[in-house]
Amino acid sequence: MTWDNQKQAQWGQPPVPPSTPPGARPAWARKRVVVPSALGLFFVGVIIGSAGSSGTETISSTKPAPEVTVTVTVTAEPKPVDASDGKPAGTQEKAKPTAEDTGKEAPVPDFVGMGLQSAQDTAQAKGFHGLTSHDSLGRDRMQAFDRNWKVCSQNVKAGRTVSTETDLDFGAVKLEEDCPAKDEQPLEATGSRMPDLDGKSVKAARGALDSGTSVTVTDAAEDRMVLMESNWKVCSQAPGPGVKLKGQPVKITAVKFEEKCP
């Protein structure tokens, strides 16, 4: 065994083939070790990754630019002043609205001769809403169906301008009746004195007395029941007109309006 073979055996390398000349380096010793490029890239990535994991983060922040406020001062040119009233020249003062312009006042229409329902509708269209009516014949009948009644009088003269808060009262009769020459207002209580009930409706007579007064009504012509008191007129009364009332009962005799008292 040559020296080279001894060295090869000592180093654990295979013996040099006999073709190798003495003193020449073995073929294995002459080979270069080439590291694949892929393996090199692997090591480079490991090194960079280690540096990134152990390094510090860099945070980039951008501060907004400060706002700039620009103040512009505009000086208005003074308007010429009228020396007469101290107001700027060319200023026209608006006229103050009147009560009629604002609807708080209105002229009262002429309602006489109109149907009661039409009169009420016209009054409401003008802004009047406080409306009442009464029997012009003084019989104290209720105007249950306004279309069956006509206006004979009104408490506010036609053409007069008044507040729309004013109450309008219409004197009325049924369509088939004639308006009286003078409007008969409902009877009013005369305190402690007996009123004159002659010719008045029994209903109006009862309304003129104290509500606690005991009243007896009988038919003056026949033995009929007096049911619709506004259709009956008084023929006699007791006590008489002007007698002081002290709570005593009142007696009345009556007939229908189209009849004559006996």
Are 157 and 207 contained in the same domain?
A: no
Domain assignment present for 233: yes
**Which of 119, 154, 174 lies at the terminal end of a domain, its last residue?**
174
Are 167 and 224 contained in the same domain?
A: no
With beta carbons less than 8 A apart as the criterion, state whether 138 and 200 touch: yes
Domain assignment present for 55: no
- pLDDT confidence bin for 8, thresholds 50/70/90: low
- In which order are the strands placed within the sheet that holds 232-238? 215-219, 250-256, 232-238
- pLDDT confidence bin for 4, thresholds 50/70/90: low
Q: Give dist(CA 210, CA 233) in Å, integer.
A: 19
Domain assignment present for 87: no
Are 121 and 164 contained in the same domain?
A: yes
Q: Give dist(CA 219, CA 225) in Å, integer.
A: 7
Which 3-state string (H, E, C) describes 109-152?
A: CCCCCCEHHHHHHHHHHCCCCCEEEEECECCCCCCCCHHHEEEE
Structure tokens at 74: 């505009």
Domain assignment present for 88: no
Are 116 and 156 contained in the same domain?
A: yes
Domain assignment present for 196: no
Which range, 73-82, 177-186, 230-239, is most confident? 230-239
What domain count does the chain have? 2
Q: Kindly report, residue by residue over 144-179, the tens digit of the pLDDT.
A: 899 999 999 999 999 999 999 999 999 999 999 999
Domain assignment present for 43: no
Domain assignment present for 4: no
Domain assignment present for 2: no
CB within 8 Å of 1: residues ≥ 6 apart:
9, 15
Which range, 60-74, 188-202, 222-236, is most confident? 222-236
Q: Provide the percentage of residues in the chain whose pLDDT is more than 90.
A: 53
Q: What is the mean pLDDT of residues 42-55?
A: 47
Domain residues for the domain of 154 are: 105-174
- pLDDT confidence bin for 101, thresholds 50/70/90: low
Are 170 and 117 contained in the same domain?
A: yes
pLDDT at 88: 59
Task: Assess whether pLDDT exceeds 90 at residue 90.
Answer: no
The enclosing domain of 112 has a CATH number of 3.30.10.20
Are 167 and 123 contained in the same domain?
A: yes
User: Is pTM, for the whole model, over 0.85?
Assistant: no
Q: Give dist(CA 253, CA 237) in Å, integer.
A: 7
